[in-house]
């Protein structure tokens, strides 16, 4: 949504900031929330993040804040404990700025939900710069999972019910195509429909494993793409994870698959270079190596057993989500042009195909790192 600058400045002023608001600018490339960076006049160069939660997608923003407080407290305590034996440990978490009346969000008179966080100054790119960056991304997500591995999932709200439950996306998709007029269909639409049909049965693989008790529900990040893992400019090491809106109970497999589909795509997510989409196996190895280095202590044999399926499933699921949203008239993901979500779906399906073609190599990497 477009807001006039004065509106954004006055919204930022609702929060207890340590200085005068100088400027507010659009920031990042999220497809759901609206994110801004706020420059503040102070002795040091100070910036904070102002964000409007999309309450079409997130129906209970107050629950997001509750989860976030809980998770940040838990991580802060774990880090303080670890520092007792190793004072050099660093792990940064964003701080939440309260409003003048002490709440951790501001509800404007249009019903929009705003919050402010501290800005972590670090490198956070949306493309991977090389093998060591890929390793650090994996390490960062693994570290995040490890820090939360002793947090009871009952204490967290399920922010987006059904978020990575692929069979539910299949159901929604099937209802959507039933109500469409077939005369509008193009080759691309047919490609997507065939692609989904051929993987329909397999798409329940993680759900079945979860129901059979083979995979455990744990706290997950929910959006582990590279730009959410902060890398220290000087050391090149992962120093924190941001964007905790979707921290909720789930399978770590969702995060592993999501992280790899975002890090290992040799093209972009938008489909402007569709012909260049493929899955980079060297980055895959690096991310998994970093992940297992930091999260290996709690991973079970079954966690390893279903890792390849997760890597294949999450891009397939995202393609299905984009395609369904395209068919529904783009009501979930922000778009500039009406076929943006169709192009995004094609990218994810190509990526899934590339993963399938390299199944043996990926499985070998997983068993190697075990």
- Name the site residues for Mg ion (rule: CB under 5 A): 223, 243
Q: Mapping DSSP to helix (H, G, I), strand (E, B) and coil, where does residue 170 land?
A: helix
Nearest distance, CB of residue 351 and ligand GN1, angstroms: 12
Count of positions on this chain that bind ligand GN1 (CB under 6 A): 9
- Which residue's CB is nearer to Mg ion, number 223 or number 325? 223
Stretch that binds ligand GN1, among 29-37, 100-108, 171-179, 232-240 (CB under 6 A): 29-37
- Which residue's CB is nearer to ligand GN1, number 30 or number 296? 30
> Could you tell me the end-to-end alpha-carbon distance of the chain, in angstroms, rounded to an integer?
46
Which of 31, 92, 200, 328 binds ligand GN1 (CB under 6 A)? It is 31
Residue 318 touches which member of ligand GN1, Mg ion, none, C-beta under 5-8 Å by kind: ligand GN1
Nearest distance, CB of residue 90 and ligand GN1, angstroms: 25
Element (H, E) at 262: helix 252-263
Nearest distance, CB of residue 261 and Mg ion, angstroms: 14
Say how far apart CA 128 and CA 287 lie, in whole Å.
10
Contact between 289 and ligand GN1 (CB under 6 A)? no
The site map against ligand GN1 for 251-270 (x = CB under 6 A) is: -------x----------x-
Contact between 57 and ligand GN1 (CB under 6 A)? yes
Query: Taking the CB of residue 28, how many other CB atoms lie within 10 A of it?
Result: 16
- For 107, counting Cβ atoms within 10 Å of its Cβ (0-12 exposed, 13-18 middle, 19+ buried), the class is middle
Q: Mapping DSSP to helix (H, G, I), strand (E, B) and coil, where does residue 157 land?
A: coil
State how far the alpha carbon of 157 is from the alpha carbons of 53, 60, 74, 220, 338, in Å. Answer: 17, 10, 15, 12, 34
Contact between 167 and ligand GN1 (CB under 6 A)? no
Contact between 63 and ligand GN1 (CB under 6 A)? no
64 Cβ neighbours under 8 A, 6+ residues apart: 53, 58, 157, 159, 245
Stretch that binds ligand GN1, among 28-36, 72-80, 129-137, 146-154 (CB under 6 A): 28-36
- Which residue's CB is nearer to ligand GN1, number 223 or number 303? 223
Say how far apart CA 81 and CA 182 lie, in whole Å.
60
Say how far apart CA 248 and CA 246 lie, in whole Å.
6
Of 261, 276, 280, residue with least CA distance to 358: 280
Which of 71, 75, 239, 318 binds ligand GN1 (CB under 6 A)? It is 318
Which of 34, 136, 223, 289 binds ligand GN1 (CB under 6 A)? It is 223
- For 2, counting Cβ atoms within 10 Å of its Cβ (0-12 exposed, 13-18 middle, 19+ buried), the class is exposed
Contact between 246 and ligand GN1 (CB under 6 A)? yes
Nearest distance, CB of residue 318 and ligand GN1, angstroms: 5
Nearest distance, CB of residue 259 and ligand GN1, angstroms: 10
- Which residue's CB is nearer to Mg ion, number 118 or number 302? 118
Say how far apart CA 120 and CA 263 lie, in whole Å.
21
Residue with tokens 């990526």: 351
Beta strands in the chain (DSSP E): 20-26, 34-41, 46-53, 96-97, 106-107, 113-118, 218-220, 229-231, 238-241, 248-250
Say how far apart CA 252 and CA 335 lie, in whole Å.
29
Contact between 30 and ligand GN1 (CB under 6 A)? yes
Residue 227 touches which member of Mg ion, ligand GN1, none, C-beta under 5-8 Å by kind: none
Residue 122 touches which member of Mg ion, ligand GN1, none, C-beta under 5-8 Å by kind: none
Residue 31 touches which member of ligand GN1, Mg ion, none, C-beta under 5-8 Å by kind: ligand GN1
- Which residue's CB is nearer to ligand GN1, number 39 or number 263? 263
Residue 34 touches which member of ligand GN1, Mg ion, none, C-beta under 5-8 Å by kind: none
Contact between 328 and ligand GN1 (CB under 6 A)? no
Interface residue list for ligand GN1 (CB under 6 A): 30-32, 57, 223, 246, 258, 269, 318
């Amino acid at each position: 949504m477009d807001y006039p600058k004065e509106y954004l400045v006055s919204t930022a002023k609702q929060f207890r900031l340590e200085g005068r608001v100088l400027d507010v600018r659009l920031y990042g490339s999220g497809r759901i929330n609206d994110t801004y960076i706020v420059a503040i006049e102070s002795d040091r160069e100070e910036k904070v993040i102002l964000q409007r939660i999309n309450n079409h997608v997130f129906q209970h923003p107050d629950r997001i804040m509750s989860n976030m407080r809980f998770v940040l407290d838990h991580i802060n305590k774990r880090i303080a404990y670890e520092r007792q034996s190793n004072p050099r440990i660093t792990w940064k978490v964003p701080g939440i700025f309260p409003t003048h009346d002490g709440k951790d969000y501001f509800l404007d008179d249009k019903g929009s939900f705003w919050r402010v966080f501290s800005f972590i100054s670090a490198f956070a790119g949306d493309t991977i710069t090389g093998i060591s960056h890929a390793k650090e991304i994996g390490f960062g997500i693994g570290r995040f999972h490890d820090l939360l591995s002793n947090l009871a999932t009952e204490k967290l709200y399920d922010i987006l019910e059904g978020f990575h439950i692929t069979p539910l996306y299949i159901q929604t998709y099937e209802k959507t195509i039933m109500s469409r007029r077939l005369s509008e269909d193009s080759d691309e639409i047919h490609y997507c429909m065939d692609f989904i049909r051929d993987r329909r049965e397999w798409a329940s693989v993680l759900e079945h494993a979860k129901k059979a008790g083979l995979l455990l529900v744990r706290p997950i990040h929910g959006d582990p793409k590279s730009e959410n893992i902060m890398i220290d400019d000087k050391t090149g090491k992962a120093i924190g994870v941001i964007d905790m809106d979707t921290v909720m109970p789930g399978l770590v497999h969702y995060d592993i698959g999501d992280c790899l589909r975002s890090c290992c795509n040799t093209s972009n997510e938008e489909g402007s270079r569709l012909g260049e989409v493929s899955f980079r196996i060297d980055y895959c190895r690096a991310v998994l190596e970093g992940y297992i280095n930091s999260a290996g202590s709690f991973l079970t044999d079954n966690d390893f057993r279903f890792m390849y399926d997760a890597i294949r499933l999450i891009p397939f699921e995202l393609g299905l989500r984009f395609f369904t949203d395209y068919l529904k008239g783009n009501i979930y993901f922000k778009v500039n042009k009406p076929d943006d979500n169709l192009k995004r779906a094609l990218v994810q399906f190509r990526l899934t195909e590339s993963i399938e073609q390299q199944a043996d190599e990926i499985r070998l990497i997983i068993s190697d790192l075990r």
